[in-house]
Every structure is written in C-alpha cells, then in structure tokens.
Amino acid sequence: METVEMNSVSLKHPRSEDDVANADEIKRQKILEKSKTGNDSGQSIETVTEPPEDMKNEIIPNEESEEQEEEELEDSDEDGDPESFADMMKHGLTESDVGITKFVSSHKGFSGILKERYSDFVVHEIGKDGRVSHLDDFSVPVDDEVNFEDPSEETFTVLSDEDKQRLEELQLFKNKETSVAIEVIEDTKEKRTVIHQAVKSLFPGLETKTEDRDGKKYIIAYHAAGKKALAKVRTATDPRKHSWPKSRGSYCHFVLYKENKDTMDAINVLSKFLRVKPNIFSYMGTKDKRAITVQEIAVLRITAQRLAHLNKCLMNFKLGNFSYKNHPLKLGELQGNHFTVVLRNITGTDDQIEQAMHSLREIGFINYYGMQRFGTTAVPTYQIGRAILQNNWNEVMDLILKPRPGAEKGYLVKCREEWAKTKDPAAALKKLPVKRCVEGQLLRGLLKYGMKNIISAFGIIPRNNRLMYIHSYQSYVWNNMVSKRIEEYGLRAVPGDLILKGATAVHIEEGDVDNYTIHDVVMPLPGFDVIYPKHKIGEAYKEMLVADNLDINNMRHKIRDYSLSGAYRKIIIRPQNVSWEVVAYDDPKIPLFTTDLDKLEGKPLPVLPTDGKFRALKMEFSLPPSTYATMAIREVLKMDTSIKNQTQLNTTWLR
C-alpha cells in the first residue's frame, strides 16, 4: 500500500442543480467536477453520524441543541447571487489549509459530480441494535384504551368539506382570517367534543374554544401561538388529565423521512404544528440538509395518530413506522449510517472505478475531519477556537466582529464596518436585522456586560456554538498530525503508535508491532486526559501547539467549559457493506434508484438506457459514528472538497 499526496487540481464545468434547489443551496452545496488530469475536486455537505468522541455537546454539521432553537450560526446562508459567493470563497479555505493532504489509495482519480440532485445522496440511520431505519409503514398502532388524544371514526366525518377547506387555509395561513367559526347544529356536549377533536386532530397547530353567538353554539378554531390569552394551550408536558393510557409507553417512536431539510428544521416544523416545544423530541444523530435521510425520532406523549395526520399537510418529509416505548432516544446511541450515493457524469474507466472501489472496501480512507467543520468564511472557526484556548479574548472578539475579505451578507458587512469604525456595540447591532446570528449575540453581550468583560459577553452565545470553535481547533490539529503520521510511517503500525484496549490507549511496543495493522491505530485530539505517540509525531504535536502559544501539558482552561479532555480517533476507516454499480443515463434529472417513499407510493424506477450519453457510479457503504462521508468519496475520486478550490477554477460557470 502506498500513500499519495494531493497535488493541484483543475475542474470542468458541472451540471445545474436540482430544479428545487434554493439560492442558498446553490451557493454552498453545488459539487463541481474534477478535470481529466486525475486529481479531482468537488464539494459536499458532510454527514456526521454523532458528535465525535468527547464532543457530545458540540455543534457538528447540521446539529443544534435545544438551547439553539432558531439560532443562526456564524456562517449561515442567505440569498445571494453565485458570483458574490464565488468572490467570498476566494478568501476561503482549501483542504491543505486544514491539514487534509494525503490519500491512501494508488489509483488514478477521475471526474464525477456529487449531489447534482439532493436525491443523489441518501442516508439511512443504523440504530444501536444494527437495524437500518427504513420508512415502509404508514399504519398507526391500535391501543386497547381510548383517550381524548385518539379521535373516533366520527372525527373524520363530522366536518363538512367546506369546513375542512376553511380550516386548512387557516392552518396554512393562506387567508387573512384569524379564526374559523363552525356552527354546532346538534348542540350536545358529545357533539361539541367530537368537533373539538376533529379540528385538533386533522389540523395540528389550531386550538379551539366554544362560544355563544345569537343563541347558537359555535366552535371557534384559531392559531394557538397567536392567541395564547384566549385559551389554555395544552402541551405534551402539560397533558389533559387522564389523557394518556397507562399501558402505553410515554414516547412515540417514529421514522422520519426528509428531503432537503436538516433534522432540526424538521423538528422545529413538527413542534410548531403540534403546538409543543422542540425539546420534547429526541434523536440519535443529525443528518444532512441536502440529501434524503431516514432516521428514528422519539417524542414525549404525542400520539401516532396526531403525527400521522401531519403527513397530509407538510412538505418534504414523511412520518411512519410508529411504536410506543418507555424511553427517549439519546444522542450518539446509533451504530452509524448507511449511505447510497450517486456520482454523476463520471469519466473514469471501468478499471479505474474497480480499483478505486476495491481500495475503499479493502483499505478505506483517512478519517479526516471534513471541510465543513472549519467554516466557509475568511475567518476559519479553528482560529477563533485557538484564541479562546489562548485566553486572548480581544482576539476572539476581533475575529468574530472585524470586517473580513470577500463577499458576505450585506447587513453583516455594514455591521462589521460600523464596528470597525466606532467599536460601539449598540451602533453595530442596529445594522443587524437578524439579532440571533453569532455576531448579534456577541454584540448584545458586549452591550450588557461592557467591553471590559468580553468573557461574559461571549458567554451569551449558546454553549454549543462556543464549544464548536475549540473543537474545530482540536480537529485542525488532528488533521495535520495524521497527515504527518502517514507521511512519516505510511500505512503500517509502528512502535510508539497508539491503539485502544477497551477505552484505554496504550503504546505499541517493538515486540507487539506485528499484532496490529493501520486499522488499529488511533491518534489523540489534544487534551489533558490523553497520551501521545512515542515517536516523531508525539513531538510534532508539542511543536504545533507551542507555535500556537499553547502548552500541550496544560490543556485545562480557567473557564471549565473550555478545558479540553481530549479523545482518540482512528486514523483509517474501512467502510462496511460496500457495493457499487455503473449505470448509463441520458436525462440528468431522472432518479437513478428508488427511495423508501417511492416504494411506498409504488413508483417504478425509470428504465435506463443500456448505452446512455452519461455514466454514473452508484455506491453504497456504511460508516461508523463520527466519520465524514465526503472524506470517503474524496478518496474514490481523488478530489479536493474545498469550496474555494472549486469556485476559483469554475468562475465561468458561477457567472
């Protein structure tokens, strides 16, 4: 086995995005082809199956905690033209900037387009029991007990078609009405109860109350969120008395199938329509936005019937495979993810493809932290993390708020300019229409605590956002050290390397080296509770941290949140369940495989030509938690995944 260093790349023009892609997706998520020279470039959104090692509370790609509800990260998207984004990316990062420089395979790279359509990237979660999550059943489990939450059959017939139309328009804010009045023709308590049930079950998000008007009874439906004073809004944590059967588990588990939405976006929409807080939902891992993903979700005391009704009124995701259990889900409990990926318009020969995929299956790929971990702007997240660890709070403030080169959101540019000119938090804050971005949060903190208490001001930013910065620095160090390790010693275990025995790291001794392979070797993320290799790379860690004015022997911070315990991470990952197929096609917009939803709806797979204009590589593989799928794909194509590399070499397309 040999290692291959990545050289410079050139690119060809890619195809257009899926028709449904928004401007923000076009900016960040378009994947470009590699040139015919053999070294490729493409960009993707990494899927991280759980927080890495000691980073269980960290924000990782597409992950948010409950305290981050509706928060915007520093590098969040906005509408804008691709040319502006290209200008911004001229000042962004390349893979070599964050230590990603090596390949383990010897095959010649070839060109392909990743995520030309979001449906070309499908993720199925693998639970802790090894079961792969699939959406294949819309049925609702039947209880022995009947309660208020479970509507009777009459619920579905008591409302007229006209009532349903008006209620749907009210629910979806399609008209200017603030309420809908339904006259109770046969005025009995039982009849009113059925109408109340019908509205709330069929139109989640609406609340009801009874009113007398001119001697007649009416059920008034309205949006609970906007009418809190009119009625008590019941939630899953404040249920109606005796509404939940004792024999039923408190948590409804279900499979969430979503398209082009990240996990927290989906949960926020569900919570809005169900009139509950997002923190009653639990999950094992977060998934990509620009993909089709299937994962298990649990929610406290919401019936399967209510959840199933959401399928009728919500776009881009479906709920199914309902069951009741007595426990929620915990972040990180999953075994990993199974990926189905299509690389379109490939240029590799059959031999190249076979070599690449055999290498992925037999050797694997370097377990780098992907580009998304380091941000997309001219100020990488690891630089802010380094300043935090250095206890250099003026630098932290400056890196977050100072003007930065390249195109950026217009209001952020004005905010930064105002800050540079006046150093006045109030004046800079006035330039921000969105106060929940990281810049806005820091400015609010400075306004509250003053310029002499930056630590407290920075503390206003949600904890997970703050930890993201220092974990980004750890990842930056790890990537660089792994590249040095592979350059120095290749793909074999050597004396002084680290392996795990249980949860404990030990050094490989000279006499034991033949008992281990490169797949056993781990390397540490720097911290106070790890040991380092006993060869040149151990010294390289120290040298790198010394150059950053940090002491590797003192990784405790005076603020406990920023003390790094460290962790261990395998340097080579060998995917499981690897399979692949090359298919021909003519139309770049047709799907090349069927999804769970396609199968449920009985949609056949399009008939593909045997000799089409284009060729695509369909590949499947399973990855363990804390690994980036695009690093595996990078190894196959030999591509640089940095946005900067793509945009600089594809400015004609971006115009």
pLDDT digits over 368-382, tens only?
Answer: 998 888 887 778 899
Confidence of residue 197 (pLDDT cuts 50, 70, 90): confident
Looking at the domain assignment, is residue 276 inside a domain?
yes
Higher pLDDT, 221 or 76: 221
Nearest to 46 by CA among 114, 109, 92: 114
The whole-number pLDDT of residue 534 equals 96
Average pLDDT, integer, range 226-237: 41
Average pLDDT, integer, range 51-72: 32
The whole-number pLDDT of residue 15 equals 35
Tell me the CATH number at 298: 3.30.70.3160
The whole-number pLDDT of residue 589 equals 86
Say how many domains are in the chain.
5
Looking at the domain assignment, is residue 399 inside a domain?
yes
Looking at the domain assignment, is residue 36 inside a domain?
no
What is the maximal distance between C-alpha atoms in the chain?
A: 94
For residues 562 and 577, membership in a common domain is answered with no
pLDDT digits over 430-487, tens only?
Answer: 998 877 789 999 999 999 999 999 999 999 998 888 999 999 999 999 999 999 999 9
DSSP label of 283: E
From 465, 493, 525, give the residue that closes a domain: 465
Q: Does the structure show a pLDDT above 60 at 26?
A: no
pTM over 0.75: no
For residues 457 and 471, membership in a common domain is answered with no
Tell me the CATH number at 195: 3.30.1370
Q: Does the structure show a pLDDT above 70 at 61?
A: no
Confidence of residue 143 (pLDDT cuts 50, 70, 90): low
For residues 137 and 161, membership in a common domain is answered with no
DSSP label of 173: T
Confidence of residue 404 (pLDDT cuts 50, 70, 90): confident
Confidence of residue 407 (pLDDT cuts 50, 70, 90): low
Q: What angle do CA 500, 506, 512 make, to 5 degrees?
A: 95
Average pLDDT, integer, range 149-171: 74
What is the C-alpha separation between 470 and 59, in angstroms, rounded?
11
What is the C-alpha separation between 101 and 479, in angstroms, rounded?
9
Looking at the domain assignment, is residue 199 inside a domain?
yes
* Sequence-distant (≥ 6) Cβ neighbours of residue 650 within 8 angstroms: 11, 13, 14, 32, 86
For residues 412 and 561, membership in a common domain is answered with no
Tokens of residue 88, six digits: 């911004």
H/E element holding 324? strand 317-325
The whole-number pLDDT of residue 20 equals 37
From 415, 450, 465, give the residue that closes a domain: 465
What is the C-alpha separation between 122 and 338, in angstroms, rounded?
8
From 465, 487, 508, give the residue that closes a domain: 465
Looking at the domain assignment, is residue 240 inside a domain?
no
pLDDT digits over 85-121, tens only?
Answer: 455 556 678 888 999 999 999 999 998 888 778 889 9
Confidence of residue 215 (pLDDT cuts 50, 70, 90): confident
For residues 451 and 478, membership in a common domain is answered with no
Tell me the CATH number at 499: 3.30.2350.20
Catalytic (active-site) positions: 288
Cα 183 to Cα 131, 159, 212, 216, 219: the distances in Å are 50, 10, 10, 7, 6
For residues 516 and 544, membership in a common domain is answered with yes
Confidence of residue 631 (pLDDT cuts 50, 70, 90): very high
Average pLDDT, integer, range 285-311: 91
* Sequence-distant (≥ 6) Cβ neighbours of residue 91 within 8 angstroms: 377, 378, 404, 405, 406, 644
Higher pLDDT, 525 or 233: 525
Range of lowest pLDDT (48-52, 152-156, 257-261): 48-52
Cα 259 to Cα 136, 318, 319: the distances in Å are 16, 9, 12
What is the C-alpha separation between 49 and 295, in angstroms, rounded?
11
The whole-number pLDDT of residue 46 equals 38
The whole-number pLDDT of residue 570 equals 97
Q: Which range has the top average pLDDT, 305-319, 432-446, 523-537?
A: 523-537
The whole-number pLDDT of residue 63 equals 29
What is the C-alpha separation between 360 and 358, in angstroms, rounded?
5
Q: Does the structure show a pLDDT above 70 at 53?
A: no
Q: Does the structure show a pLDDT above 70 at 509?
A: yes
Tokens of residue 422, six digits: 């006046």
Confidence of residue 235 (pLDDT cuts 50, 70, 90): very low
Looking at the domain assignment, is residue 642 inside a domain?
yes
Tell me the CATH number at 393: 1.10.1510
Tokens of residue 247, six digits: 């024999």
The whole-number pLDDT of residue 367 equals 97
The whole-number pLDDT of residue 9 equals 31
Question: Looking at the chain, how many residues does it have?
Answer: 655
The whole-number pLDDT of residue 272 equals 86
For residues 444 and 470, membership in a common domain is answered with no
Nearest to 28 by CA among 70, 62, 71: 62
For residues 381 and 442, membership in a common domain is answered with yes
The whole-number pLDDT of residue 151 equals 54
For residues 114 and 172, membership in a common domain is answered with no
Residue 66 in contact with residue 40, Cβ under 8 Å? no
Q: Does the structure show a pLDDT above 80 at 64?
A: no
- Of the CA atoms within 13 Å of residue 158, those in its CB half-sphere come to 24
Q: Does the structure show a pLDDT above 70 at 328?
A: yes
Q: How many Cβ atoms sit within 10 Å of the Cβ of residue 326?
A: 8
The mean of the pLDDT values for the chain is 80
- Counting residues of the chain whose pLDDT is more than 90, the rounded percentage is 51
Structural domain boundaries enclosing 630 = 91-121+337-367+573-649
Q: Which range has the top average pLDDT, 143-152, 219-228, 344-353?
A: 344-353
Looking at the domain assignment, is residue 607 inside a domain?
yes
For residues 566 and 478, membership in a common domain is answered with yes
Q: Does the structure show a pLDDT above 50 at 45?
A: no
For residues 386 and 461, membership in a common domain is answered with yes
Confidence of residue 193 (pLDDT cuts 50, 70, 90): confident
Average pLDDT, integer, range 399-411: 81
For residues 507 and 563, membership in a common domain is answered with yes
H/E element holding 221? strand 216-223
Looking at the domain assignment, is residue 49 inside a domain?
no
